[in-house]
Each structure stands twice: as structure tokens, then as C-alpha cells.
């Protein structure tokens, strides 16, 4: 007669002898996939395609506005009466008035465009007034 041991098996021995069912394996895989997605979208910085397109569009608009603002400042400073216009611009106390002054002067209208760029006029007026 074989002697049976009443001792508990070690964790390693139990792990080695474990044989999960197919349904257990499938649900473990599903749970792992769901947990990975939750962690990825919550903390991993993952975004959907739509969100990434929106972020790229916004970044492009901001960059274009910064470039247009720089061009506006250069055009303003290249004008023959730049010093007098700068004094006139700084005399305006409200940002909206400064923006309108830059737009009216034509410095915020980019080459090939018929109307002033709003971001260019805001950035230009802010840079010039500083």
C-alpha cells in the first residue's frame, strides 16, 4: 500500500499540476484584453483615430497662426511709418482695439488672402504691444 501524504503541496507543485479548462483560458484572454485597453486608454495615452485627427488639426492651426503672426510683425516693422504706428498701437488700451488696428492696417492679411487672419492679428498685436 502506498503511503499518502497529508501535507499540502507547494505553490509551485500546484501550479505545475493545474490544468485549466478551455472556457477558463478564453475568459482569461478576454479579461486581459479588456484590462489592457482600459489601462491603455486611461493611463497609457492611447487615443482614437478621431481624437488624433482633431489634435493634429488643432496643432496645425496653432502653428499656422504663430507663423502668420511672425509674418505680420515683420510686415509691420518693414512699413515706412512703423515707429509712428507702433506708438499709435500702444496707445490703444484694449486688446480688441489693437487687433482691429492691425487688421485695418493690412499687416495681418497673408499673401494670397483677401481677409486678415484672426490668429495672426491677435498674435501680432500682442507681440507688438509688448
Q: What is the mean pLDDT of the chain?
A: 89
Instruction: Give residue 4's pLDDT.
Output: 56
Contact 72, 108 (CB under 8 A): yes
Once rounded to an integer, what is the mean pLDDT over residues 13-42?
A: 94
Count of structural domains within the chain: 1
**102 neighbors 72 (Cβ within 8 angstroms):** yes
Average pLDDT over residues 14-40: 94
pTM: predicted TM-score of the whole model, two decimal places: 0.65
Domain extent, residue 77, equals: 68-129
Q: How far from 19 is each of 1, 5, 22, 23, 70, CA to CA, in Å? A: 28, 22, 9, 12, 68
Q: Flag whether 74 is in a domain.
A: yes
The residue-averaged pLDDT of 78-96 equals 88
In a domain, 48, yes or no: no
Which tens digit of pLDDT belongs to each residue from 32-82? 999 999 999 999 999 999 999 999 999 999 999 899 999 999 999 999 999
Amino acid at each position: 500500500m502506498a503511503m499518502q501524504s497529508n501535507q499540502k503541496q507547494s505553490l509551485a507543485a500546484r501550479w505545475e499540476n493545474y490544468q485549466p479548462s478551455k472556457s477558463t483560458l478564453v475568459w482569461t484572454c478576454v479579461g486581459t484584453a479588456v484590462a489592457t485597453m482600459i489601462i491603455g486608454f486611461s493611463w497609457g495615452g492611447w487615443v482614437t483615430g478621431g481624437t488624433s485627427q482633431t489634435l493634429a488639426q488643432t496643432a496645425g492651426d496653432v502653428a499656422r497662426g504663430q507663423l502668420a503672426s511672425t509674418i505680420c510683425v515683420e510686415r509691420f516693422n518693414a512699413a515706412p511709418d512703423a515707429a509712428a504706428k507702433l506708438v499709435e498701437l500702444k496707445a490703444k488700451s484694449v486688446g480688441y482695439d489693437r487687433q482691429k488696428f492691425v487688421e485695418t492696417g493690412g499687416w495681418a492679411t497673408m499673401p494670397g488672402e483677401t481677409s486678415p487672419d484672426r490668429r495672426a492679428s491677435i498674435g501680432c498685436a500682442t507681440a507688438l504691444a509688448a
